[in-house]
Amino acid sequence: MKRRLILCDLDGTLYDTSEVNFESYRRALAEEGVELEAGSFRKHCFGGHYRDFLPLLAPGLDQAKLERVHDRKVELYDSCLGSARENTELFERLEALREDSWIALVTTASRACAGKLLAHFGRGGFFDLVLCGEDVARSKPDPEGFLAAMAHFGMKAGDTTIYEDSPAGLAAARATGAQVLAVSFPGPTPPLPPPR
């Protein structure tokens, strides 16, 4: 009988994908005649959903073109995965906790990109549940995804630990009432607090 639930964010928590996302969006936007600067990308995209940040990166594009940019980004994602880095320390910790805990992924990333990233590192079957951007109506900082995962396993906030990195993700995690551990990739993962 598993007594705890561990929820993890994907980008910036389990994987450093900053260069992957930047380069795939840079190429996709270039096809629409928009030049993407790294500073602008970092400022607007950290932990956000593409429908929120793409209009800020390309204010001259209408909604149909923005959706086309995102679709093209997903297509280009594979070719940029060589710069992704795994948080092996956190994965080792999760593996050690697996016997007593359900482990789920809750991300604003698309199912296509999340699947490609996990497959690239051989982690396709690692999680007991994967919730992606398409699975929720409201993305982080709304806690909907985390709460849905807790409901799926029938776990309360006091039995749940959430690993996150971005301001939006941390706000969503804290809103659940669960234990929240801020991850600073690729630095060391904070120690697991004792159960409450």
Q: What is the CATH number of the domain that holds 165?
A: 3.40.50.1000
Helices 144-153 and 167-174 cross at an angle (nearest 10°) of 50
**Number of domains, the chain:** 2
Q: Which SS3 state, helix, strand or coil, does residue 24 take? A: helix
Q: Is residue 92 part of a domain?
A: yes
What was the pLDDT predicted at 39? 84
Q: How many CB atoms lie within 10 A of CB 195?
A: 11
* In a shared domain, residues 10 and 106: yes
What was the pLDDT predicted at 186? 61
CB 185 within 8 A of CB 87: yes
- Residues of the domain holding 99: 4-16+85-182
* In a shared domain, residues 129 and 177: yes
Token digits of residue 181? 């551990």
* In a shared domain, residues 96 and 174: yes
Q: What is the rounded distance in angstroms from the CA atom of residue 192 to the CA atom of residue 93?
A: 9
Phi first, then psi: what are they for 62, rounded to 5°?
Answer: -80, 175
**H or E stretch covering 151:** helix 144-153
Low-confidence ranges of the chain (pLDDT < 70): 185-196
What was the pLDDT predicted at 13? 95
Q: Is residue 195 part of a domain?
A: no
* In a shared domain, residues 126 and 176: yes
